[in-house]
A and B are shown apart, each in its own frame.
Chain A
Amino acid sequence: MTISAVGSDASVQPLSGVSSGVWQHHHVLDLDEFSRGDIENIFKTSNIMRQILDRDVKRVPTLRGKTIVNLFYEPSTRTRASFELAAKTLGAEVLGFDAVRTSVAKGESLVNTLHTLEALGTDVIVVRHPQSGVPYIAAQEVNCSIINAGDGCHAHPTQALLDLYTIWRRIGKLEGLKVVIIGDIKHSRVARSNMWGMSKMGMKVTLSAPSTLLLRDIDQFISQSGMSHVDVVSNLDNAVEGADVVMPLRLQLERQEEGLLPSLREFTLRYQLDGRRLSLANRNVIVLHPGPIHEDIEIASEVAHGSQSLIEQQVTNGVAVRMALLYLITRTKRGDQT
């Protein structure tokens, strides 16, 4: 493939082979706002980004002159590194704004920090925050594009997109596939975003968790949200039967301290994805995990490192998907978006 020349005005030039004409999003807040067409568009763009990542010299000047800020209010190594690499590969300036240690410690408010970043000429703010809804506040406050890199228990759309992309690359389709998401659904932004994304792509989602880690009004949530194929099967053996994809979630050890689980031992007995349980799924089942994994808690080592695990591919694909999103949203002028 070829990359077209970058103009002297440093505006974003189209990558050949990518049709982004229908892309109308200024922000990436959650997948509820994306159509199936949008998600397919992201996949196609990600394919091209994967090719760039497979080169010897992993650098194109597509986003030269753009400034991207990683505004992280929560410790993160993986997601942050992934965004940083994605932005740098596309030639953007990347500023790390580690709010845990800088302005928050001085007591600067979220809103003031956002306005400061806007005044610095930031084009895209990638925000991670321990509290749900912060990217939505950001999108109201400033004109920069906002990418939600994880907000509280609410959403983690780039993770869900890389999960979907990884499945799509491996299996070649998404429609009709059965996915089982296991564990701490209640506190998982990954689960929520995947429920939206997988539903949009016509996948069948089964949630399997102890009742203390499920959502209180999940039936109404599903019906109000128009998610047609989401169900709950609390027995993991039954849930995994016939699955094409299984995705154990990271279990935060605090959950036991909060009294939501009697013991890690009991959780492990009931909900650990091990080889026996995996054998109940389809023969070609794939295993995903949003990471970082707690080996031998929610997932057995043999499964995490087994032949059906795509956990490492997820990481590589994550960079490509984030490149695709940065590319797509910086091509949208504010006002064009729906």
Chain B
Amino acid sequence: MLVITNGRIFDPCHGIDQPGELFIKEGKIESVGTGISFPSSAPMIDAKGLIISPGFVDLHCHLREPGFEEEETIASGTQAAAVGGFTTVCCMPNTDPPVDSKSIVNWIKKRASENAVVNVLPIGCITKGRKGKEICDMAELAEAGVVAFSDDGDSVPDSQVMCHAMDYSRDFDLPLIEHCEDKSLTNGGVINEGWVADRLGLKGIPAAAEEIIVARDLALARLTGAKLHIAHVSTRGAVELIQHAKRNGVPVTAEVTPHHLTLTQERIMNMSNGGGQLKYDSDAKVYPPLRTQDDIDALLEGLKEGVIDAIATDHAPHTQAQKKCELELAAFGISGFETAFGSLMGLLHAGKIDLGTLISKLTCEPARVIGRGNDLGTLRVGAMANIVIFDVDREWQVDRPRFVSKGKNTPFDGCWFKGKVLATIVNGEILYQDDSVRVNHE
């Protein structure tokens, strides 16, 4: 049992925004509202001045297990997710071996049941071995419990294979999540193709490399009627393509990452940090690359207008050795769980996004993308008690040595954020709490 009192209960998708109490019993939300009854013996969190919202749902993360345990494990990754306010995470299948068979899905589910502190929903591959040649045994993967299919890390390069995968996936009503990258254009690219790449003498990754695959897949989704979800949208052109497709009834959804909403290509030079000395900062090396302010403006507009459905972290932990090397050799990716909310709150305080949009893109909307809108990302009575409590105004500084994630690779190190997750409750249990949060036992 647990009671959260005095907070602002906020579930924008379900029209809830009221002061009151929330009572959790047997892992489920028992009642919500003002003046609800609960046993006086129930442990209590006083959430005065705080917001109580559904726990965040992340459609896109890399837990690295099996195969890359030096980067992250299901245990360390889900603990980091809890710190970030995420109560459900969908893990990408580019592990070793990749998640292309029932036995690996079952292995991950077993590991998660033993080691995970948040809900872990596996994503299966689109093609066997992520090789882009033959489609996986999707029925078997679906039966084993994957929530989507993706070859994330690569696009499915062959249009015919992708077309077959879309057709075949319709039998299971699960989305195909596409990482959009035309490798013939990105090959060897390091950062966004633009003036920073010109200045630094780096090979650029043009926006067109992403947009070509977005356009192709939208055409295939229109052709097949399959559910398509575009991962980590980063360009204005991609937003426009998706907007156009949605207007024409194509069954597409899309996500954007916190870093693509907050950082631009200039970050790789990291000039402000360290006396204006130019750097080649691999912590800002990520695919898709950080783009321009114009792209950010389009992404924010896309969120507001519903072109982009979800904010997903693309949490991609790496070891120090994979990052502390020549920039061209450094791994792509940002360890994102623990900075996602804080960085997004900067957009709120800057007036770039409202709280309702922000929270719905982190909760019910991603849940709907995987067809779980009824039981995830909601404060509905009877749903599992997956809840986050946060303070909109709490200021804190990112200090990566203190990350719970094994991946310390963040471009936000040292940043001051305003807005912090103070407690994360998964299936009724408090799995993360800030030092300032007290649970009062009778």
* Contact (Cβ within 8 A) B199 A224: yes
Provide the residues of chain B in CB contact with A215, threshold 8 Å. Answer: 195, 198
Closest residue on chain A to residue B275 by CB atoms: A338
**Count, A-B residue pairs, CB within 8 A:** 76
Q: A residues within 8 A CB of B321?
A: 109
Chain B nearest CB, measured from A336 CB (Å): 14
Mask of A118-148 contacts with B, CB within 8 angstroms, 1/0 = 0000000000010111101101100000000
Provide the residues of chain B in CB contact with A217, threshold 8 Å.
193-195, 198
- B204: A residues at CB distance < 8 A: 216
Known contacts A29-B278, A110-B325, A216-B193; is-contact A132 B198 (Cβ 8 Å) = no
Give the residues from 322 to 339 in chain B that come closer than 8 angstroms, CB to CB, to chain A: 324-329
Does A221 make an interface contact (CB < 8 A)? yes
Report the nearest B residue to A129, measured CB to CB: B326
A241 at the interface (CB under 8 A from B): no
Q: Give the residue of B201, B279, B326 whose beta carbon is less than 8 angstroms from that of A153.
A: B201
CA distance A302 to B201 in the complex (A): 32
A152–B201 touching, CB < 8 Å = yes
Closest to A156 in B: B201
Q: Is the CB of A225 within 8 A of B199?
A: yes
State in angstroms the CA–CA spacing of A221 and B198 once bound together.
7
A189 contacts the other chain (CB 8 A): yes
B398 on interface, CB distance cutoff 8 Å: no
Which residues of A (153-189) have their CB < 8 Å from a CB of B?
153-155, 189
Residues in A neighbouring B329, C-beta threshold 8 A = 131
* A327→B186 CA distance, assembly (Å): 43
What 1/0 mask marks residues of chain A from 23 to 42 whose CB sits below 8 Å from any chain B CB?
A: 00000011011000000000
* Choice from B277, B279, B324, B328 contacting A132 with Cβ under 8 Å: B328
Closest to B197 in A: A216
User: Which residues from chain A contact B324 at a C-beta distance below 8 Å?
Assistant: 109, 111, 137
Q: How far is the CB of A62 from chain B (nearest CB, A)?
A: 28
Residues of B with C-beta under 8 A to A140: 279
**Least Cβ–Cβ distance between B44 and chain A, in angstroms:** 50
Interface residue? A218 (CB, 8 A) = yes
- Bound-state Cα–Cα, A136 to B277, Å: 9
Residues of B within 8 A of A133 (CB): 200-202, 280, 326-327
1/0 contact string of B121-165 vs chain A (CB within 8 Å) = 000000000000000000000000000000000000000000000
Asked if A132 and B202 make an inter-chain contact with CB atoms under 8 angstroms apart, the answer reads yes
Known: A133-B326, A133-B327. A216 touches B194 (CB 8 A): yes
What A residues does B202 contact at CB under 8 A? Answer: 132-133, 152-154
For A137, the closest partner residue in chain B by CB is B280
- Residue A298, interface by CB 8 Å: no
Per the bound structure, the CA–CA distance linking A220 and B201 in Å amounts to 15
Question: For A32, what are the chain B residues with a Cβ–Cβ distance below 8 Å?
Answer: 278
| Contact assessment for A110 and B195 in the assembled complex, using a CB-CB cutoff below 8 Å | no
Q: Given the interface contacts A153-B202, A216-B204, A217-B194, does A137 sit within 8 Å of B326 by beta carbon?
A: yes
User: What string of 1s and 0s marks CB contacts (under 8 Å) between A174-216 and chain B?
Assistant: 0000000000000001001000000000000000000000011
Q: Are A132 and B280 in contact (CB under 8 A)?
A: yes
Q: Kindly list chain B residues whose C-beta atoms are within 8 Å of the C-beta of A221.
A: 195, 198-199
Roughly how many angstroms separate A151 CA and B278 CA in the complex, as a whole number? 14
Query: 8 tightest CB-CB pairs across the interface, nearest first?
Result: A133-B280, A154-B201, A153-B201, A220-B195, A215-B198, A132-B201, A217-B195, A221-B195
Q: Which B residues have a C-beta under 8 Å from some C-beta of A?
A: 193-195, 197-202, 204, 206, 277-280, 321, 324-329
Q: Can you report 10 A-B residue pairs in the complex whose CB atoms are below 8 A from each other? A: A29-B278, A110-B325, A110-B326, A133-B201, A136-B277, A137-B324, A137-B327, A139-B277, A151-B201, A220-B195
